[in-house]
Every structure is written in C-alpha cells, then in structure tokens.
Chains A and B, each alone.
Chain A
Amino acid sequence: EAGVTQSPTHLIKTRGQQATLRCSPISGHTSVYWYQQALGLGLQFLLWYDEGEERNRGNFPPRFSGRQFPNYSSELNVNALELEDSALYLCASSSSTLYGYTFGSGTRLTVV
C-alpha cells in the first residue's frame, strides 16, 4: 500500500512569490491535514480537509490556503512568501475509523 506522498521534496522560492505544495493521501483516507514545522521541532496546525471541505484552520494568515480534490488529494498554497515561511510542511491523512494519522515525508520550503 502506498503511503502519503508529498511533492516536491524541496522547493526554493523568492520572497513575494507563491508556492504550491501537493499531497496524496493513503487510498481510502478522506481527511488530509497540513502542518508547518519550523526549526525542526514543534508542529503548527495549518489546515484540515475532509470530504472536500475545509473543516478547521490554524492560526495562520489568509495567504495560506488550500483545497482538497474529489480524489482526496490536496494542495497547499502560500502566497506572498515571506522569509519566515521557510519550514518543513508536513501532510498527514486519516480516516474516521483510524486511530491516528499517517504522515508524508514533507516538503522543505526555503524562501530566499
């Protein structure tokens, strides 16, 4: 069974540009979660999508947005990039019957 896949693995952008990160959940999982992990430690919750709808949002500005497609894959968009957006962005998927999440390996975003 394929795990959660994220692309690209690494992304380098210039301040002010837009970044698009992608996530494919495990087959059968309808929920996708996005997290930002800066400085290699704490997880900051960004967004939760389930069945194509945004269910919850963390304390991030509106320039962080996303969507979930009919096949349950998801996209995270970050507009007007700032230097402090440099971080590892992790995607996780789950189903309502599953205890816990399955994570992808992340996208390392570097803003220069």
Chain B
Amino acid sequence: GNSVTQMEGPVTLSEEAFLTINCTYTATGYPSLFWYVQYPGEGLQLLLKATKADDKGSNKGFEATYRKETTSFHLEKGSVQVSDSAVYFCASRDSNYQLIWGAGTKLIIKP
C-alpha cells in the first residue's frame, strides 16, 4: 500500500538558516502530495500541495517540488524564522481520497 516517510526530528536550526525536511512516498501512480503544518496547541493547516509531477507548491516562503524520479517531495525554506517552529507533516492522497501521513517532523528555530 501507499506510504510516506519523512525525516525524524526534532530538527533544530538557528534563525535565518536554510531548511530542508525530507519526504519520500511509495504509491501506485502519481498521487497528489501535501505538506501540513501544526503550530503548538492547534490543528493542522495545509501549507502547500502539488498535484502532478514537476509541480512546485509554495506558500509563506516554503517550497516543495514533486519529483517522480526520486518519489520525493522535500520541504525547503531559504531563511527560517522563530515563528516557523511547528510540526510539519508530509502526506499523499490515495485513490480513495484518503491522505496517507508521514510521522511528522518537529522543527525548532532558535533566535
């Protein structure tokens, strides 16, 4: 079945550092891919998505490119802020419209 694997956390960076959170998926075909963010004490929010190969999703300075060759959807940001501290979830959508979730990566940004 489909699965999503993302790098374990926590990931700790200094403010203005470059961020990469790795995400790879296994699936039949080419599922839509998502990144969600969960700020402390809140539910999950959709951060960005890509629906086909080579699509680039972007939002709030974050980007992720759908790479079918490497079955990856890595999240990147050029300069992180303390306010980016949160848990980030990668997900893929299966043929039944259900989302398959990664385990989540906690990001800690220090001033």
Partner-B contacts on A (CB < 8 A):
4, 31, 33, 40-43, 45, 48, 55-56, 90, 92, 94, 96, 99-106
Q: Verify B43–A43 contact, CB threshold 8 A.
A: no
Q: List 14 A-B contacts (CB under 8 A).
A: A41-B104, A42-B103, A43-B44, A45-B98, A56-B98, A99-B32, A100-B32, A100-B36, A100-B91, A100-B99, A102-B46, A103-B45, A105-B42, A105-B43
A41-B87, A48-B98 in contact; A100/B104 too (CB < 8 A)?
Answer: no
Q: Verify B34–A100 contact, CB threshold 8 A.
A: yes
A94 contact from B42, B44, B97, B106, Cβ within 8 A: B97
User: Which residue of A has the minimal Cβ distance to B35?
Assistant: A100
Q: Verify A103–B44 contact, CB threshold 8 A.
A: yes
Nearest Cβ distance between residue B33 and chain A, in whole angstroms?
A: 10
* B66 interface residue per 8 A CB criterion: no
Residues of chain B with a CB closer than 8 A to A90's CB: 43-44
Q: Verify B93–A100 contact, CB threshold 8 A.
A: yes
B93 contact from A92, A99, A106, Cβ within 8 A: A99
User: Which residue of A has the minimal Cβ distance to B104?
Assistant: A41
Interface residues on chain B, number (Cβ under 8 Å)? 22
* B81 interface residue per 8 A CB criterion: no
* Residues B19-65 near A (CB distance < 8 A): 32, 34, 36, 42-46, 49, 51
Partner-A contacts on B (CB < 8 A):
32, 34, 36, 42-46, 49, 51, 87, 89, 91, 93, 96-99, 101, 103-104, 106
Q: Verify A100–B46 contact, CB threshold 8 A.
A: yes
Residues of chain B with a CB closer than 8 A to A99's CB: 32, 34, 49, 51, 93
Q: Verify A101–B99 contact, CB threshold 8 A.
A: yes
A94-B97, A100-B34 in contact; A41/B49 too (CB < 8 A)?
Answer: no
Residues of chain B with a CB closer than 8 A to A101's CB: 44, 46, 99
